[in-house]
Structure formats: C-alpha cells, structure tokens
Structure 1
C-alpha cells in the first residue's frame, strides 16, 4: 500500500526532534513522517548505489529497511561505498551497513539477507516490502528484480552507473513502464564492461543513489512527480541532466513467472557470441609464470588494458596494446607483426577483455591464448607485490 497506513503510527519525542525539519515542511508534515515510519523498503545491493540510498532512507525516517547482499567490504569499495569504513574491511557488507544505519537512526528496523537474490528466493524476500530499490550492477539480477516486482506489483526504484555517467527511473509504478521496456533483451555478454573493468568516479553513485532515495521518499509520502515514465540521464563530466521518455510496450511479453536469468542473459554460454568466446584457448597465471621463467624469445605477452591501468600495475615483459585499438582494426597489423613467429598470450585485468581481443584477432587469422583471471589473478596467485585495483 502506498502511501502506507499510518492509523497506528506515533512518533516519539526523540523522533519529533530528529525529523523536525521534515515536520515543518507542509508537503511532508506529521502525516508524511508517519508514512515514512510505516514504510518498508528493500535495497538489493549495498555497494556504490546502496550506500547513499540506505544512508538517506534511514536518515529520512523510513521505519524498516531490508538489505540483500552477500559480499564483504574490500579496500577498493571505500572510494565510493560510503556506508562502509576501513575497520569493516573483510567483514560482511550487510553488517557494516546495519551498524551505520543504526548510528544514523536507531529507530529503524534493519532486516539482513546475506544471500544472492535468486529466482528461488526473490518473491519470498521482496513480498513484505512496499518498495524495492535496485542497487545492483549486473543484468541477470536487474531482470530478476524487475520481474519479481512486476509479479508482486511493487515499485522498482532503479539506478545504474558507469565511469562518469548514471541513470535513474522508477519502474512498475501505477501502470508505468518496467525494466523490460528499457531493455527488451539483454546485451551480449561482455558487451557492457563492469565498473571493476571500466572504472567509476567515486561521487557518481552518491548522486544517483541519492536520486533513488529521493524517489522512494516521494513514493512513500505521495508528494511530487515521480520519475515513472522518464529515464533521467546524468553526465558528471558535463554536469548535465537530460530525460528520455519511457512508455510501456503493448507488445511486451507477459511476465508469468521467474526464469533462469543467468541463462537468459547468456551467462554460461547461451547468448549469441558466447560460443565464440568459449572457443578461446586459455592458461592459468601459474602456467604463464612457468612460461615467463623460461626462454622468451618466441613468446609475446600482450596487455590489452587501458593505459591508466598499466600505470597502476603490470606483468613484467607485457606489451600494451589497448583493446579498443584492436577492435577498431587500428592495431591488427601491428599485432600481426609483433606476433609473427611467436606464441601469443593476452591478458587484461580479469580475463574478459583479453578474450574479446583474441576473438577480434582471430577474425584476422591471428591466434593466441587467454590468461585466465588476468593481472588480478597474477597479483593474488603469483606476485603479491603487484598492486590490485
């Protein structure tokens, strides 16, 4: 029910003081604050988007927050996942988030789900909540969250980020569009790099996450105009916002149940182009180390990361030729010349971009071997002095 039923809700004297700046807003007032206290919001993910989202929903006085996440805090998270601190590195994100939420608002009930959201548990987890906020970073979970919200008739407050750009909207609200109207089909696997590969400026998820929190507060209190039917696009480099209109597709297939979203999104080899990627030969970083310890006259190790990444860490002896130069065709003849008469091995950060490079090179008759796990695996398994990023 939106707005939530407030017939049995009362604010304590502490809550009156705590939320006084809301109470004096005519648009919110006592009734709006009671709605916030009566409301329940589920946040899927407590990373870059989930951090500001949870912080501001707790500070706003939302009475019940659910958090779904099974990851632990890593040093690389702290640049943007502001709900976590250094003392929580190595510990569950959901526990870190709960501790911080209770520092902000001890009146907030926090439910923890230390698990991956799956087709088997999504409906059970989402059912008790009024609103779902999607703070995920992968297509299978986004489709899962969307379809579960459609089946349960729950609003889905959506956000996504990459590098310097973000987007936000509200799906499945009062007959408005859902995620499948924006993305009827998932992109091919590997087509959209993750933030771990492409990077993200630390302030960006703060901006988009706060927009998601704003939309959730508006839905709960019944004020303003929601983003339903509008996709808000933000460019941090230009400091510009623009909107795209979204409409429900009348020919969109009816969602009748939850499916295997890994398979639907091609994870595991079922999507177009995945078979080609699976045909790439590969070796482990341990096997690469053995090769590099021997004669290297007939060996070429190609690094297809971007130049800024090579300034952070390198595998000794690797030659940098960024993936975009290979895929554009600009570097094909250069690689052909360098690899002539040699065994070609290709690495990136995690192994995805190097596989794409080998597919592109293979179309020009240049064969090579992918280094599984890339330089990240090299740092963990071979040389810990190589920085991880």
Structure 2
C-alpha cells in the first residue's frame, strides 16, 4: 500500500472520527435538553434581573457601549421573551443574532425536521442534525454559543387551537414563516394578545419586512396597523409560491432574517414594548431612564423592500395606518365579523387550500411508477409545468415543457400546451381538422411538476376544456422529486 493511499485513509478515518464526536456531542445535548425539568409556558411576571453578571458585561460589551443600547437597553433585552415562529432560512439567522444579543428568553417554534436541502440557507443546521427536529437542532447550536439564554422548544405546527395560548406568553413575535395562512393566524392572535410582530418574507432574489401591531402614540388604540390592515384579502392561491417551488438565494433570506433580528433589538431596547406588560421589577422600570432613545417617538407605518440584484437594493414604502373597519384590530361595521379569542377563523377556508392539498380525484392521478412504465408508448404525452430553468436542470426523457406561468396568465390552458401535445402526437394539421385535439384522440396526457401541486391545477384546467374531451388526463403524484427517488433517471433538487 502506497504512502499516498495510507495518507488518504488516515484523513478519511480522522474525518469519520470527528463526525462521530460531533454526533455524540449532539446526542448528549439532546439528552440534557430532554432530561431537564419542563419549563412552564405560563408566564406572569418574569424573574427579576437586578444586574448583569461580569461575564455578560464582557460578552455584550461591544453593544453596551453604544448610546442606542447602554445598560438600560441591555437589561430590557435580558428581561424580554421573544417567540420565533419558523426555524428556517429566516428564523435561523434571527435566532442566532437575538441569542447573541442577550435576549433573556427565546421560544422556538417549528414542526419540521432538518433536511439536506435546508443547509444552503438555514445556517443553524448541519449534516449531523439531518432528520432531527429543527427546534432541537437550533437550540443545541444556540446554547453552545450563549448558555445564558433560556430556550423554550415548541415542536409543533402553529394552528388556531394553540396560537393564542403560545403567543400570549411572549413579549415579541418574529414571523419567519412562508405561507399567508400562518401570517394571518400569527397577526390575528398577536392582536388579541396585544403583542407586536416583526414579519418578513423572501423569495428568489427579493424580500420584504414589516412590523405589525406595534405600540405607537400616533394611532387610535395605541397600536399600529396589523397584517390585515395591509392585506384584507389573501392573494390568489395559485399566486402563492414557496421558496421550495420558486427558489431562494441563501444570502437573500439571510439578510431578511438578520433585519428581523435588528428590528427586534431596536424595538426591545427602545422600551417600546413596556406598555404590553407591567415591569418585572423596580430595576426593569428603571430601564426607562436616559441612555436609550425611548418609545416616545412615533414612527409612521412602513414596509422595507430588498431587491438583491437592483443597483439600489433597499427601498422603504410609507404605508397607511390602521383600517378603522379592520376585522382584526379595528371595529367592523358588522360586529359578528370581529375576530376574537373565541372566533379565530378557519385559515384554510380563508386563504384557500395549502400547498399539499389534493385537488383531483384519485382516479385522475398516477404514481411515478405507473408513468415510468408508460414512457415511450405511442399514445402517451408527458407535459412538464416547471419553469425553463428547472426543466433545464433535469427532465423526464421525451417530456415537453410548458411552464406553469403560462397557465396562470390567462386562467386557461395555454396555446403552447396544445401545440406540445399535437407535435408529440404527430397528428394531422389542427387547422385542417378544424378543432384542436381532434387529431389526438385516445391520447393520455400526463402532467408533471416539481412536487405534484401545480400539475394538479394544470390537469384540472385541461379536463375542463372541451377540446380534451377524448383524452385521458392525469397528473403525477409527488412530481419530479418522487420520480427521482423511485424511478431514477432524473435528479432531486
């Protein structure tokens, strides 16, 4: 065996040893977390914190010496409870910076497990944590950097049954989720509980940030607009695209998460939240002394837009104030419409079906194994609705690309689809036939997308078009991702 081979083997063994040590450390941290006494989520008055420790003065020294923070601001941070909803691309950097800044209590809420596809943007998770709950993964990493913070895990999905119970136990909420259903739920529950929400989103190369239900002296009721004041009605279901479908650049979502943390630090250290609850102690009340800017300067409602590929990436848009008739934070003309703790609505009905909803009858859907056996048959046409970039990454042999954006534009089956099917069918000229689709009788058209969501909508549109009345139209359950896992020949991304 050559020296080079021996050296390579030694390097491989050392890497394996390091990975095993990291895994052992992870399991020990998880055991410590699970064996710790359960932390009560019923907060009344937070524990009085008379002063910072010597270690904390040193740890937070670089921000302590800033006039915007000072000792009063640092004590406010230490005595504040922040809930982060969604421990993904936004929540990871936000949690990291808030923990590092010395927020006293961090609640982390997410029901998902760490996946390989998360790692390009969700900076708290690593290979060693794949398959573990994101909440526990994040707490392990955060506690390793700052054990002074109290971390409260919420390994659950937020829904209308638990939202108010969880949110009311915190002083500030960061909405780091990626779907309107959850954003409306978070905002409504926060209005009922009297909490401020820092909300952000990111998709592709752009992001936006807004603070809702913020304490202010410039609005009736002492609070700024809520999420519903800006968006009384949800966007059309077909226009809602997650980062899993539309993609996102890692640094873009990182920027937005960092900005959420920055906004949270500004709000907390200024004392703007102190009207939400009574001071925990005389010391916390004293934190209103000179040394920070204080909550006395009302700021107009605004929204921050970030466009990473623009020459001027940051823009701020002045927003209107609260809507007097808002059903969440205002007084609607019909009192029955007012959202209260006992009338939190059904957000699936309000926002439409979620991304994994089943729109088609099971008989109109095929598995990837079924379609894999059909490829190459004369009467089978496969149409892929992913965009051109994704189709260029990987595709099923012989499939035709008709991007879903074409289906959305006119709300009908695009002309590109008919051409793709007719070309594949090698039919007679449709102008001579007098009717599109006539030369393709007996065809089975299989519609494919990335995950099996857009394909259902496209298939449904084709089924409802009379020109396809002689066709068998189906979609593929699980899309190209399921195809990669079970059939092969394409890559999962």
TM-score (norm 2): 0.72
User: What is the distance in 1 between the residues matched to 2:455 and 2:299?
Assistant: 38
Say which of 196, 201, 208 aligns to 1:155.
196
Q: Contact 1:159/1:208 (CA < 8 Å) preserved in 2?
A: yes
Q: Which moved more, 1:226-235 or 1:149-158?
A: 226-235
User: What is the distance in 1 between the residues matched to 2:385 and 2:158?
Assistant: 33
Q: CA deviation digits over 1:133-166, x for unaligned, max 9? A: 0000112111111111000000011001111111
Structure number with larger C-alpha Rg:
2
Partner of 1:237: 309
Q: Contact 1:176/1:229 (CA < 8 Å) preserved in 2?
A: yes
Partner of 2:41: none
Q: Which moved more, 1:180-189 or 1:56-65?
A: 180-189
Change (3 A) 1:36 1:204: same
Say which of 8, 13, 17 aligns to 2:49.
8
Larger helix percent: 2
Partner of 2:323: 249
Partner of 2:275: none
User: What is the distance in 1 between the residues matched to 2:365 and 2:371?
Assistant: 10
| Equivalent residues in 2 for 1:1-389, closer than 5 Å | 8-174=49-215, 175-222=223-270, 223=293, 229-238=301-310, 239-244=312-317, 245-253=319-327, 254-257=338-341, 258-267=344-353, 277-278=359-360, 281-292=364-375, 296-328=377-409, 329-338=414-423, 340-341=440-441, 342-361=443-462, 362-363=464-465, 365-366=467-468, 368-383=473-488, 386-389=490-493
Aligned length: 378
Q: CA deviation digits over 1:340-374, x for unaligned, max 9? A: 34211110101222223334444473362111211
Change (3 A) 1:79 1:39: same
User: What is the distance in 1 between the residues matched to 2:316 and 2:299?
Assistant: 10
User: What is the distance in 1 between the residues matched to 2:50 and 2:365?
Assistant: 61
SS at match of 1:161: strand
SS at match of 1:193: coil
> Offset at 1:330?
4.9
Change (3 A) 1:279 1:6: closer
Q: Which moved more, 1:180-189 or 1:19-28?
A: 180-189
Change (3 A) 1:255 1:227: farther
Q: Contact 2:402/2:417 (CA < 8 Å) preserved in 1?
A: no
Q: Which moved more, 1:319-328 or 1:43-52?
A: 319-328
Q: Contact 2:381/2:421 (CA < 8 Å) preserved in 1?
A: no
> Offset at 1:321?
2.3
- In structure 2, the gaps of 5 or more residues are 1-44, 216-222, 271-292, 328-337, 426-439
Q: Contact 1:327/1:357 (CA < 8 Å) preserved in 2?
A: no
SS at match of 1:331: helix
SS at match of 2:165: helix
Change (3 A) 1:311 1:333: closer
Q: Contact 2:360/2:460 (CA < 8 Å) preserved in 1?
A: no
User: What is the distance in 2 between the residues matched to 1:109 and 1:240?
Assistant: 36
**Once superposed, what is the RMSD of the aligned Cα atoms?**
2.4
Q: Which moved more, 1:22-31 or 1:153-162?
A: 22-31
Q: Contact 1:9/1:38 (CA < 8 Å) preserved in 2?
A: no
User: What is the distance in 2 between the residues matched to 1:79 and 1:124?
Assistant: 33
> Offset at 1:268?
6.8
- In structure 1, the gaps of 5 or more residues are none
> Offset at 1:90?
1.4
Change (3 A) 1:6 1:215: farther
TM-score (norm 1): 0.90
